[in-house]
Structure 1
Amino acid sequence: MARILITEFMDEDAVARLAADHDVLHDPRLVDEPGRLAAEAARADALVVRNRTQVRGALLDALARCRVVGRLGVGLDNIDVAGCRARGIEVIPATGANAQAVAEYVIASALWLRRLAWSGSAEVAAGRWPREALSRGRELAGATLGLIGFGSIGQLTGRLARTLGMQVLAFDAALDAEHPAYAESGTRWAGLDEVVASADVLSLHVPLVESTRGLIGAARLAAMKPGAVLVNTARGGIVDEIALAQALRSGALGGAALDVFAEEPLPAAPHFQGCPNLLLTPHVAGVTQESNARVSALIADRVLAHLAAGAGRG
C-alpha cells in the first residue's frame, strides 16, 4: 500500500478510487502550510497537485520516497520537471481533460467583451435604461479569432469559434506552416505579429517559459486592432498587466478577460480598478464540475497504474 498526498482540491470520487487501494491524505489546506506539507511529503510515494503547489526547492527535496507526481491540469510551470526526472519521479499532466472548459470560457468571454450588453444589469435594476450605450456591441460572426498557441486547447477553441462564423488564424512556435493541424481544422497559419495585428479576439494558449514571458507587452498591445479584445487563460506572466490596464483605460483595447495572473492569488491590484470592459476570474477557466471529474479521474487512473507498475517491478 502506497501513501498518496493530495495538496489541492480533487473530485471526491477520484479520491475515493485512490483510497480504495492506498493510504490517502487529501488536504487542500496543505498548499498554504509549507512546513506541514514538507513533513507529509517526506512520507509520500505519490503526490497530486494543481497549479499552486510548487514542486521544486524544499518540497522537491522532501520527496525522498515519491515515485510519481500527478498534475490536475496541463501547465507544468509550477513543477521542476527536470529535477523530478533526475530523482526518478514521473510527472503526469492531465493533458486534454480540461480543454472543453477552457475553450468554452474563451468563447463566452469573447461574447461578453464584444457584446457589452451584459455589463448593464446593475443600471437596469436601479431603474436606469442604458439602451443606447449598450446597443453598440459587436457580433462574433465575421470577426477574426487569433490564437497564439495551437495545441489541443487552441484547436478546440478554434473549432468552437468557427461554428459561430469566425475566421481563425493561429501561430505556434512548435508547429510550422505546413503542419497538418492547420489544414485539418480549417485554420490559417500566420506569423506571430500578423496574428496579433489581425485578431479581433486574441486568445493565448502557450506555456510560461522564458520565450513567452512578457510576450504581450506594451508594443504588442499597441499593435492590436483598435477595439480588439484579449483573452488570457494560459499563464499570467505572459501578459504585462500594467501595460494592459493602460491600453484599456486609453480605449486602444476594447476589452480583456484575464483568468491568470503573474502572482496568484492576485493581491490588491489598483491598476485594474475602474478599467473598462475588464473581466477578471481566479484561474478557473479550466475548472467546471465536468472537467474536474475528467481531470481527477484521468490522474487517479494514471497514478494508480504507475504505482501498480512500480510494485510489479519490485
Structure 2
Amino acid sequence: MSKKILANDGIDAVGKSLLEKAGYTVVTDKVAQENLAKEINDKGYVALTVRSATKVRKDVIDVCPGLKVIGRGGVGMDNIDVEYAREKGINVINTPAASSNSVAELVFAHAFSAVRFLYDSNKQMPAHAEDKFDELKKKYAKGVELKGKTFGIIGFGRIGQTVAKMALGLGMKVLAFDPFVSDVVLEIEIDGLKAIPFPMKTVTMEKVLQNSDFITFHVPGGKLISKHEIASMKNGVILINTARGGVINEDNLLEALNSGKVACAGLDVFENEPRPSVAILKNPKISMTPHIGAATNEAQERIGVELAEKLIDALK
C-alpha cells in the first residue's frame, strides 16, 4: 500500500514529523480544487487531509478508488461528503478536541471588544483622536462589565463547555442549550491545581434566548436564528457566532442591529464566505474576524498531532 499523504491545506510541523516517523511521505504543496482528483490518482495518495478550504465532494470520492482516509484538521466537516465517503469505504476523521480552547478564547475576544467598543475605537482613534480625543472618550464611556451578566450558549459540546468554564471564571451566569446534552460536570482548572467540579444542567433554547445578555453559538451548522428568535431576546443582547455562517440570518441580524434590538455582534463566520456581504462588512456594530477560531499556534499543533495519530491508526 502507498504511504503517501496529501496535506492539501497544510499540517503543523509536529504532526507532519509524527507521520514521517511512522514511515509516511507527507506532501503539503497546495493542489487547486479542480486538479485535486487527478493529483490524488497520479501520485497515489492513500490519505488526504484538509481544513476548511479544500472540498471533498462526491465527484472527487467517485474517481479516487485508492483513497483510504480523509482527515479534517478541525471540527466541522461540512466541506466533506462524509456519509457518502464512508459508504464507499473511506474512513473520515476529524480533530474535535484540539481547537476548543482557541475558539472559546476568540468568543471572549469578541465579547470584550463589544462591551468596550474596541471594534470601533480601534478604527476611530487613528483617524480622529488627534483632534477629537474628548469626543471619542465620551462616545466610548458607557462600557459594561461581563461579571454578573448571563452568557447563553447554544450547543454544549466541547467548545460550548469550554466557553462556559471561562464565563464562570469571569463571574458570569451561564445558561446552555443542547438537544443531546442534559447535564455535565465541568472541570474548572485554576493555576494548575486540582480541577474543581461544577455540575450544570442544560435548559431550553427559549430560556437561553429570553434570558441571556450574550449568546454564543457552537453548532455544526443549520439556520437557527432569524427574526422570530431575535424578537424573543433581551433588548441590547450581544450575539457571537464562531460556528458556521448562516446560523444567524444576516439580513435579520442587520435589521436588529439597526433597530438597537441587538447591541452588537461578533462574527468569525459568514453566510457568503469567502466573500462576506458588503452590508455586513460595513456595519459599525459588528466586530469581525476572518474565520480564525482555531488559528492559534497552540491549537494548530494540537490539531496536527491529533490528526497524525488518527491517520496512523486508520492506515494500519
TM-score where L is the length of structure 1: 0.89
Question: Quick one: which amino acid aligns to residue 23 of structure 1?
Answer: T
**Which sections of structure 2, spanning at least 5 residues, go unmatched?**
188-196
Tell me what 2:53 maps to: 52
Shift in Å, 1:273: 4.3
Kept after mapping to 2: 8 A contact 1:146/1:200: yes
Tell me the distance in 2 between the aligned counterparts of 1:107 and 1:156.
Answer: 11
Question: Quick one: which amino acid aligns to residue 60 of structure 1?
Answer: I
Match of 1:167 among 166, 173, 176: 173
Q: What SS does the aligned partner of 2:246 have? A: helix
Match of 2:246 among 218, 237, 242: 237
Q: What SS does the aligned partner of 1:283 have? A: coil
Query: Relative to structure 1, is the Cα distance of residues 118 and 263 closer, same or farther in structure 2, using a 3 angstrom cutoff?
Result: closer
- Is residue 155 of structure 1 aligned with residue 164 of structure 2? no
Kept after mapping to 1: 8 A contact 2:151/2:214: yes
Match of 1:207 among 220, 225, 239: 220
Question: Quick one: which amino acid aligns to residue 37 of structure 2?
Answer: A
Tell me the distance in 2 between the aligned counterparts of 1:274 and 1:23.
Answer: 45
Q: What SS does the aligned partner of 2:5 have? A: strand
Q: Give the number of aligned pairs.
A: 298
Shift in Å, 1:136: 0.5
TM-score where L is the length of structure 2: 0.88
Q: What SS does the aligned partner of 1:160 have? A: helix
Tell me what 1:281 maps to: 289
RMSD over aligned Cα atoms: 1.9
User: Sequence identity of aligned pairs in percent?
Assistant: 35
Matches within 5 A, 1:49-88: 49-88=50-89
Kept after mapping to 2: 8 A contact 1:44/1:63: no
Deviations 1:83-113 (Å, cap 9, x if unpaired)?
1111111111102100000111111211111
Matches within 5 A, 1:117-128: 117=118, 119-125=120-126, 126=128, 127=130, 128=132
Kept after mapping to 1: 8 A contact 2:55/2:80: yes
Shift in Å, 1:204: 0.3
Shift in Å, 1:282: 1.4
Kept after mapping to 2: 8 A contact 1:182/1:189: no
Tell me what 1:312 maps to: none
Kept after mapping to 2: 8 A contact 1:97/1:291: yes
Dislocated runs of 4+, deviation >6 Å: none
Question: Quick one: which amino acid aligns to residue 40 of structure 2?
Answer: A
Matches within 5 A, 1:1-314: 1-20=2-21, 21-28=23-30, 30=31, 33-42=32-41, 43-117=44-118, 119-125=120-126, 126=128, 127=130, 128-129=132-133, 130-176=136-182, 179-181=183-185, 185-208=198-221, 213-267=222-276, 269-307=277-315, 309=316
Tell me the distance in 1 between the aligned counterparts of 2:10 and 2:212.
Answer: 36
Deviations 1:12-59 (Å, cap 9, x if unpaired)?
33224334422322123x2xx223211122232111011222222211
Q: What SS does the aligned partner of 1:170 have? A: strand
**Which sections of structure 1, spanning at least 5 residues, go unmatched?**
310-314
Shift in Å, 1:195: 0.4
Q: What SS does the aligned partner of 1:237 have? A: coil
